Structure 1
Amino acid sequence: MEHANTAQLGRGPVTSSDLRRRQNGRLASIGEPLPIGMRGADAGGREGRSEAPLPLILRRVHPLILLSTVLMCLATGARAQQSSTATYSVTFQGNWTTASTPGGVVGGAHFTTLIGAVHNDQVTFWESGGTATAGVERVAELGSTGTFKSEINANSNAISVIEQSVSGGGTGSATFNVTVTSDHPRVTLLSMIGPSPDWFVGVSGRSLLNTQGNWQSPIQVDLFPYDAGTEDGTEFSLSNPATSPQGVITSIRGTGKFSNVRMARLTFTLQSAIPPPTPPPPPPGGGGFGGGGGAPRTSAPSAPRNLTAVGGDGEVVLTWEPPLRDGGADITDYEYRVDR
């Protein structure tokens, strides 16, 4: 994402009282107290801190002076959002009985290997009403996990793959551990109802945190059947034509072969939780690189990339891209310096 500051052009020399910042809808001059979290800068080269992408406004800057003016945007040692970690024991319990499929339980009834991910809220691997990916299609039709695993590994919002076999037929079970973090507290899982055209059970993006940000336990999630929308068929069989055009993922609870009784259940039980580490107090005068306060970095971040300036209509718009290296913590603000 590009960040942008704006320098307005006029006449006359730059003075410290002419450098202003806009934050929360107001302008703050260098000569007055700045809002918390801001530091100003003046034309003599003293540095300031800008929470990008807030506008930086330079008034009464002569165009010729602008040519010799350098704006340096340096990533500072902003606070890192540290994450707590929790380990859960997860139990999958199948419930494929005549109560869930009143027409009978087909011979060879089983649930295929559970496959899924630990991730954040920036990705949805499957959802009711959405179109199944190739990976979800192969799980739902064949119980094959490889393609879906590749989709998970290719997504930067997932931190781990979950893969666990289920033994014991339609009432089979599996127990395994899952580690989540407060930054990545969500779990997605699915398993084919086998044999079937493209039917499966699963959970999509279930957060293990409550609304207060605390780990929940125990959590029980009843699983009901879904149709992946990729293969035709109304019987418990594998040989069916593809759905053309492809449909969407749809709940088939209480329709066709299925009653309103759950097909399976997932239970999440908290085993342990590690709170985030307490950062050391900042040294006098601020902490970290750049004096921005918060937890120190292990190294200085690299400079922002591709700094450009575009002039027109009495303004110069500066844009840049975030640094490639953050120095070990999230970058939340930038330092600037104006030299004459």
Structure 2
Amino acid sequence: MGTLRSAAAWGGAPWALLLATLGCSAGQPLGGEPMCTAQPPAKYSITFTGKWSQASFPKQYPMFRPPAQWSSLLAHSPDYSLWRKGQYVSNGLRDFAERGEAWALMREMQAAGEKLQSVHGVFSGPAVPSGTGQTSAEFEAHSRHSLVSFVVRIVPSPDWFVGVNSLDLCDGGRWREQVAVDLHPYDAGTDSGFTFSSPKFATVPQDTVTEITASSPSHPANSFYYPRLKSLPPIATVTLAQLPHGPRAFPPAPGLGRGGNEVADSLPAPETPLDCEVSLWSSWGLCAGPCGQPGAKSRTRYVRARPANHGAPCPALEEEAPCVPDNCV
């Protein structure tokens, strides 16, 4: 198993972290040999690219304290599951998804490697200090440890992350040359906040991991709620590419197997239109006008979110209606 670094080695900021592990091959035939027979081991680079821009995600985009940024962690094996859609996260992953604290999760991975022999190695690289940008690292994959899963914490957020589950770099007897994955946000199910900067509000009882979409959660206050969209644009991508080492790899196989993620395209994400959002109307004001003659009353509302990227403009913020004064002397 690779070396697990101490908590002090990650620096003072909770988002200064990118660490990863390799897991065991997913299945074994009756003979006991791993399904992956690719030889020799393959060396890979992993590149995480943040696409969390104000143009793509204009609603409540975090600008300050802290601004939009990424904190990354990767790991997998079939015995030790880092995360899985529809299942509960571990205590360690909860701490990481909510607060960026990785020590408990590091201990969980270390225990899995020592007890289950299911975590092969750990590697790290610099984090991304903004919503857009890249970070990368290198690692070696073996035929018995060819699966990679990872989570990347969205900062700031209640408990949101992006990631991939059970990405197999091996295709039978050959290594994949390159795999690219579009990433979309997930909710860890441990905090009930709706916005990037929501105060801590624990989910009791704890919920399972769910995907965040343009319409779910359906509450208008949700930071990812874009009812005009059928689906959210990718908020990030990850690319794993085999480095020159040993025999030339075969071309990448289509799809990503059990991981359930689709291959990312190379086109930039389009701008996301954000419609103007206004408050509810206030109560009607007093009827103004000469006694015994027709008058007028008014009510107002205010802008909650200004339109962006050619979204629907704001409607009128003041409305008048005829009335007759009823308190004349």
Q: TM-score, normalised by structure 2?
A: 0.55
Q: Is the CA contact 1:113–1:164 (under 8 Å) kept in the aligned structure 2?
A: no
> Cα deviations across residues 69-115 of structure 1 (Å, max 9, x unaligned)?
xxxxxxxxx99878631111111110102344231421233344321
The one-letter code matched in structure 1 to 2:72 is L
CA distance in 2, matches of 1:98, 1:110: 9
The counterpart of 1:86, out of the listed 32, 39, 42, is: 42
Pairing partner for 1:197 from 140, 143, 158: 158
Change in 2 beyond 3 A, CA 1:79/1:223: closer
Q: Deviations over 1:44-88 (max 9, x none)?
A: xxxxxxxxxxxxxxxxxxxxxxxxxxxxxxxxxx99878631111
Q: Which residue of 1 aligns with 2:145?
A: 184
Matched, 1:123 2:83: no
Aligned with 1:243 (options 196, 203, 223): 203
Q: Secondary structure at the match of 1:172?
A: strand
Alpha-carbon offset, residue 209 of structure 1: 1.4
- The 3-state SS of whatever aligns with 2:74 is strand
For structure 1, list consecutive stretches of 5 or more residues without a partner in the other structure: 1-77, 276-340
The residue matched to 1:147 in structure 2 has which SS? helix
Aligned to 1:234: 194
Equivalent of residue 159 in structure 1, options 108, 120, 127: 120
1:141 maps to 2:98: yes
Q: Is the 8 A contact 1:139 1:148 kept in 2?
A: yes
Match of 2:238 in 1: 266
How far is 1:237 from its partner?
A: 1.7
Q: Is 1:97 the counterpart of 2:53 in the alignment? A: yes
Question: How far apart, in 1, do the equivalents of 2:198 and 2:102 lie?
Answer: 17
Deviations along 1:222-268, one digit per CA (max 9) or x if unpaired, are 11100000011101125211100000000003243226111111011
Fraction of identical pairs, as percent:
32
State the Cα RMSD in Å.
2.4
How big is the shift at 1:138? 1.3
Select the structure of larger CA radius of gyration. Answer: 1
- Corresponding residue for residue 257 of structure 1: 223
Partner Cα separation in structure 2 for residue 172 and residue 79 of structure 1: 43
Amino acid at match of 2:45: S
Which digits, 9 at most, give the CA deviation of each residue in 1:246-295, with x for residues without a partner?
Answer: 000000032432261111110111004558xxxxxxxxxxxxxxxxxxxx
- Superposed CA deviations along residues 2-23 of structure 1, whole A, max 9, x for unmatched, are xxxxxxxxxxxxxxxxxxxxxx
> How many Å apart are 1:124 and its aligned residue?
2.2
Given that 2:192 and 2:201 are in contact with CA atoms closer than 8 Å, whether structure 1 keeps it comes out as yes
Q: How many residues align?
A: 196
What is the SS of the residue equivalent to 2:170?
coil
Following superposition, the deviation at residue 172 of structure 1 comes to: 2.5
The alpha-carbon distance between structure 1 residues 248 and 79, as it changes in their structure 2 partners (threshold 3 A), is closer
2-side partners of 1:80 and 1:215: how far apart?
17
The structure with the greater share of residues assigned to strand is: 1
Aligned partners of 1:92 and 1:227: how far apart in 2? 19
Residue type of the alignment partner of 1:149: M
Task: Tell me how far apart the structure 1 counterparts of residues 32 and 193 of structure 2 sit (CA, whole Å).
Answer: 55
Distance in 2, Cα, partners of 1:219 & 1:260: 21
| 1:30-45 to 2 correspondences below 5 Å | none
Partner of 1:218: 178
**Contact 1:195 / 1:238 at 8 angstroms: preserved in 2?**
no
Structure with the greater relative contact order (CA < 8 A, sep ≥ 6): 1 or 2? 1
**Residues 85 and 274 (structure 1 numbering): CA distance in 2 closer, same or farther, change over 3 Å?**
farther
Letter in 2 for 1:129: G
Q: Which aligned pairs between 1:291-306 and structure 2 lie closer than 5 A?
A: none
Question: TM-score, normalization: structure 1?
Answer: 0.53
User: For each residue in 1:182-223, what CA deviation from the matched residue of structure 2 results, as whole angstroms up to 9, or x when unmatched?
Assistant: 11111111121111110111112211112x332112110111
- Structure 2 CA distance for partners of 1:272 and 1:257, relative to 1, 3 Å: same
Letter in 2 for 1:257: S
Q: Secondary structure at the match of 1:148?
A: helix
Relative to 1, partners in 2 of residues 1:272 and 1:148: Cα closer, same or farther, differing over 3 Å?
farther
- Change in Cα spacing, 1:266 to 1:217, as seen in structure 2 (3 Å) is same
Which residue of structure 1 aligns with residue 13 of structure 2?
none
Q: Cα gap change, 1:172/1:142 in structure 2, threshold over 3 Å: closer, same or farther? A: farther
Separation in 1, partners of 2:103, 2:139: 20
